[in-house]
């Protein structure tokens, strides 16, 4: 299991390929039958307004602790073989990846459900806050998440 919070740009597909290569070398091939991946990226439009940038604030220490706790709980609940979670902080631009959730399990049911559960738990509990920079020069804090279900 790996959790990372990073201020540098996130390359989810490269990260995923590297992690899966490590996973196969440590667990051996043929140990999992399903993997599910979610990548969330920044849009250039929110609530009808054009957005040119975003600052993602977090609570150093607590953010990592909360992510670790939820990842461990979801791994146990769905009996996952492995899990990778990466989340950006700092300044972002439209199109940049914000979050990567990847899970590996024996069968697809656990993979689909655990990937979604981890993402939804992250959205509701992990201490991150988005401040948008609109194209008209104004800034605002995002106050709520869109519905995930």
Partner 1 sequence: MTVHVKFFASLKELMGCDGAAVEIGEMATVTDVWLAASGGKPMPANVLVAINMEHGDVHQAVHSGDEVAFFPPVTGG
Give the binding site for partner 1 (CB under 8 A): 40, 56-59, 61-62, 65-66, 87, 98-99, 119, 122-131, 141-145
Alpha helices in the chain (DSSP H): 12-27, 62-77, 108-125
The Cα 50–Cα 15 span in angstroms is: 30
Residue 59: CB minimum distance to partner 1, A: 6
Residue 107: CB minimum distance to partner 1, A: 26
Closer to partner 1 by CB, 39 or 106: give it: 39
Tokens of residue 121, six digits: 């738990």
Closer to partner 1 by CB, 106 or 133: give it: 133
Closer to partner 1 by CB, 34 or 118: give it: 118
User: Do the Cβ atoms of 128 and 56 come closer than 8 Å?
Assistant: yes
Instruction: DSSP letter for 78, please.
Output: T
Residue 131: CB minimum distance to partner 1, A: 7
Closer to partner 1 by CB, 81 or 115: give it: 115
Q: Which residues have CB under 8 Å from 111's CB, separation 6+?
A: 34, 35, 36, 78, 80, 103, 104, 105
- According to DSSP, the β-strands at 2-6 and 82-88 are parallel
Residue 109: CB minimum distance to partner 1, A: 23
């Amino acid at each position: 299991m790996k959790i990372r919070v990073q201020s540098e740009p996130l390359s989810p597909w490269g990260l995923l390929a590297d992690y899966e290569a490590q996973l196969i070398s440590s667990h051996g091939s043929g140990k999992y039958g399903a993997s599910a991946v979610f990548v969330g990226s920044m849009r250039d439009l929110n609530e009808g307004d054009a957005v040119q940038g975003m600052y993602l604030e977090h609570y150093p220490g607590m953010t990592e602790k909360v992510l670790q706790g939820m990842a461990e709980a979801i791994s146990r609940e769905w009996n996952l073989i492995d899990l990778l979670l990466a989340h950006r902080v700092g300044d972002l631009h439209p199109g940049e990846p914000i979050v990567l959730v990847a899970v590996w399990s024996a069968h697809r049911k656990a993979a689909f459900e655990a990937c979604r559960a981890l993402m939804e738990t992250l959205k509701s509990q992990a201490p991150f806050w988005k401040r948008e920079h609109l194209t008209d020069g104004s800034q605002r804090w995002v106050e709520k998440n869109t519905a995930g279900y």
